[in-house]
Amino acid sequence: MTDRPGVPARDLSDEELERQGVHAHAMRHWVFLHGTADQFRTHTERMLELEQEYLRRHPQRTWQGAGGDADGPSRDDRIRDLVQTFSRAVTALLDEEPAPTAPAHKRDPEEAQAALLQRFAQAPDGRLHKLEAHQIARQLAPDNRLVARLYRSDPPLLQAEKDVRVITEAGRAWLADHPVPA
């Protein structure tokens, strides 16, 4: 069977419920690291829906459902767990810093390049882990071609060293000639 987006978990066959659950868990790491906020939210909602349905149908197959109660968690316990999960997610969102006011897609490419290089210059030894660098670039640069040019320019303004990305001396010189607007 193929994925059927939008089909409520309660309407899936046992086989399809398990298949989609396995797929959701396999994709979780990628969505967490690389997905947009909407993709992450949608994935989280779907994964929770699939897990809750699986737990409802097969409580004895999971540690959560086999916790001493042969019938699994009660409806009230499942509701309580979902409300607590929701509450933690809301609290985490409220604790976050507000998003920047200028959307990345409206930023001037040269300004975005300067802002990205500035973040590298401010990092210890001008080095950022590749995943952190990727997320910063997504926030600051209007498109990935701009970031690619930083590695491919002659001389390169950024370089890769295994799992780390580093601003080069040429990158520091370019940044000195193109200061980040205040």
CATH number at 152 reads 1.10.10.10
Instruction: Give the model confidence (pLDDT) of 6-60 as tens digits.
Output: 799 999 999 999 999 999 999 999 998 888 888 999 999 999 899 989 888 887 7
Q: Is residue 164, in this structure, part of any structural domain at all?
A: yes
Question: What pLDDT does residue 69 have?
Answer: 54
Instruction: Tell me if 158 sits within 8 A of 171, measured CB to CB.
Output: yes
Cβ atoms within 10 Å, residue 145: 10
Q: Do 120 and 143 lie in a common domain? A: yes
pTM for the whole thing? 0.53
Task: Decide which of 70, 95, 120 is a domain's last residue.
Answer: 95
pLDDT band of residue 81 (cuts 50, 70, 90) is confident
Range of the domain at 66: 9-95
Residues in the chain, total: 182
Same domain, 32 and 80: yes
Q: How many domains is the chain partitioned into structurally?
A: 2
- Which of 77, 95, 113 finishes a domain? 95
Burial of 84 (0-12, 13-18, 19+ CB in 10 A): exposed
Residue 20: burial class (beta carbons within 10 Å; 0-12, 13-18, 19+): buried
14 and 88: one domain?
yes
Statement to judge: residues 73 and 129 lie in one domain: no
Characterize 90-129 residue by residue with b for buried, 16 or more Cβ atoms within 10 angstroms of its Cβ, and e for exposed: eeeeeeeeeeeeeeeeebeeeebbbbbbbbbeebeebebe
